[in-house]
Structure 1
């Protein structure tokens, strides 16, 4: 499969992965030929890029740290939980806890796989995909840092619920604010809203609730809502801060264009010890695929191809399958296929991603 911008899809190309709604329904099936009408429908749904089938890549396995099935189940659970909360009902904390444990267990089984977060997002599921992605990245970093299982569970629940304050009904927002927070400075802040809701729930730990409150704090004190610095920020929140910022960077939000994964990683690298804890950033960068499998790339040799495999510990040096037109064949439309392992070809680099 190859990952392709919606603007570069050719009519008749086949979808490489299901596209799901936030309630788990399949909106478009894997393998469906994309017509002009379907491409227009994808645009209206807010889809910016999709996986497409490519016969030249039929042997390539898209390794995932969490399976599509498990991720989709987590998105459905989160969507249902937020719907309950919005309607003034209690959400199933046990179901959210089970979802967190399932994500942790699967990540532990695949902890040597680099994270490929090239999700197919729609207007319908964007918040839930974001929350699950932040949870996945946070768990991976926590495992790399050697945190104990209880802390990782609290981290995972906090990460899943970190943006809860964005969807709370106005009445619940008002009820959740204590006298300390009645100042207008805090009234519109989703971090306080989420924290005040979660801290009242018996089965949600205070640490998980604090993740919702402090995931926008920066180690230099320029974050919000409390402008905490350094060691005043809980370590779990430092992890979620990096995961949240990365997923926001690779998503088109509030009129800002999405960065490519390697650009987002470089941005976070530059913010180490400014916004983000250095140790967290280091473990994060060793866990993320800078050039996700399926990415179409151009090499410094002038060759173009598709990333087909990753190297754990060398996320900037994947294996690329190149396709060069052989003009010596009859018709000139055959391709010379070659695999370039950038971990071995140390003088060759990825020049750009072709979206």
Structure 2
């Protein structure tokens, strides 16, 4: 598979990864042959990047850390929670807890695997995809930092629900109202009222916009005053927003550089170090141009060397093509010059 801009997708291409709607149902299944209507519809609903099948890269591993079934269930439960909050009904924390356990099990069984955020976002599902991504990133960082099973569960819950205070928030109140009307306070109040979640989990929602330099919201906490879980979620949240095409639209490597520039100011340095050890800077399937001016596609990763993946270069067309691979961990004088979308 290759990860390409929607503008480069043509009728007849086959979809590489399933696209989900906001309620967790399948919008388009992997393997479907795309038509003009489908491509125009994807454009209209806000899809900017997607995976397409390509025989020259059929063996590339773009497997998800979390299964399709779990992903659907998480999106469905999150959607039900949002709808309940919007209508003023009681939301079922226990059902969310079941999905948090499923995410934890999947992430912890993927030890040694670098995280690649490869879900296709639409205008409708991006809030749920963001919540799931932040949860996975946070859990991996927490595991790297030596958190035990109970701590990881508290962290994962806070990460998945860190923005729950945004549901029903009025934008002008959020920006100009009192601090108690900020979505972090709203999220804290919603989570602390649920016996299924610990107070530490609630504090993730409250403190994930606090900063080590004391210039964050809502209380201007600094350094050691900030909950350790919230420090982790702050990094995960900021990164996923930066790479979201609808918000930051940065390539992963540029987003990582921007995060590192925030070290000890807006984000915790120790957390950032662990983050760089679990994230794939150039996800598999990404087209790149090398310093040799050759173009290719990322096919494999090296844990601990996020900027030195293996690149496959394909020359020719049809059934007549030549394939070579360059391992940047071995070819130290060659580097990735640009990401091609």
Give the TM-score category using the shorter length.
over 0.9
Inter-partner Cα distance in structure 1 for 2:129 and 2:283: 17
Do residues 208 (structure 1) and 201 (structure 2) align? Answer: yes
Inter-partner Cα distance in structure 2 for 1:38 and 1:127: 22
Inter-partner Cα distance in structure 2 for 1:89 and 1:257: 33
| DSSP-derived class of the 1:207 partner | helix
C-alpha displacement of 1:99: 1.2
Inter-partner Cα distance in structure 1 for 2:64 and 2:167: 29
Do residues 336 (structure 1) and 336 (structure 2) align? Answer: no
Asked if structure 2 preserves the Cα contact closer than 8 Å seen for 1:309 and 1:320, the reply is yes
Asked if structure 1 preserves the Cα contact closer than 8 Å seen for 2:169 and 2:183, the reply is no
Instruction: Output one character per residue of 1:40-91: Cα deviation in whole Å (capped at 9) or x when no partner.
Output: 1001111111100001111222233223332232122211122122222222
C-alpha displacement of 1:115: 0.7
| DSSP-derived class of the 2:71 partner | helix
Instruction: Output one character per residue of 1:184-227: Cα deviation in whole Å (capped at 9) or x when no partner.
Output: 33254111111112212222211111101110111111111111
Inter-partner Cα distance in structure 1 for 2:248 and 2:270: 28
| DSSP-derived class of the 1:239 partner | helix
Asked if structure 2 preserves the Cα contact closer than 8 Å seen for 1:304 and 1:324, the reply is no
Inter-partner Cα distance in structure 2 for 1:42 and 1:185: 39
Inter-partner Cα distance in structure 1 for 2:150 and 2:168: 28
Instruction: Output one character per residue of 1:276-301: Cα deviation in whole Å (capped at 9) or x when no partner.
Output: 11110000011000000110111111
| Structure 2: segments with no counterpart, 5+ residues | none
Q: Radius of gyration: which is bigger?
A: 1
Asked if structure 2 preserves the Cα contact closer than 8 Å seen for 1:18 and 1:26, the reply is yes
Q: Identify which range, 18-27 or 337-346, moves more after superposition.
A: 18-27
- 2:42 is matched with 42
Inter-partner Cα distance in structure 1 for 2:60 and 2:260: 30
| DSSP-derived class of the 1:312 partner | coil
- Among 227, 231, 246, the residue aligned to 1:234: 227
| DSSP-derived class of the 1:34 partner | coil
- Among 256, 260, 263, the residue aligned to 2:251: 260
Asked if structure 2 preserves the Cα contact closer than 8 Å seen for 1:141 and 1:283, the reply is yes
Instruction: Output one character per residue of 1:293-352: Cα deviation in whole Å (capped at 9) or x when no partner.
Output: 1101111111111111111111111111111349xxxxx994321011111111111111
Q: Identify which range, 219-228 or 198-207, moves more after superposition.
A: 198-207
Asked if structure 2 preserves the Cα contact closer than 8 Å seen for 1:65 and 1:114, the reply is no
Do residues 106 (structure 1) and 75 (structure 2) align? Answer: no
Distance change in 2, residues 1:265/1:131 (3 Å):
same
Query: Which aligned segments of 4 or more residues in structure 1 are displaced greater than 3 angstroms?
Result: none
Inter-partner Cα distance in structure 2 for 1:298 and 1:310: 17
| Structure 1: segments with no counterpart, 5+ residues | 174-182, 327-331
TM-score of the pair, normalised by structure 1: 0.90
Asked if structure 1 preserves the Cα contact closer than 8 Å seen for 2:56 and 2:314, the reply is no
- 1:67 is matched with 67
- 2:146 is matched with 146
How many residue pairs align between the two structures?
Answer: 338
- 2:339 is matched with 353
Inter-partner Cα distance in structure 2 for 1:296 and 1:275: 31
Asked if structure 2 preserves the Cα contact closer than 8 Å seen for 1:86 and 1:169, the reply is no
Do residues 120 (structure 1) and 111 (structure 2) align? Answer: no
Asked if structure 2 preserves the Cα contact closer than 8 Å seen for 1:305 and 1:321, the reply is yes
C-alpha displacement of 1:257: 4.5
C-alpha displacement of 1:109: 0.7
TM-score of the pair, normalised by structure 2: 0.94
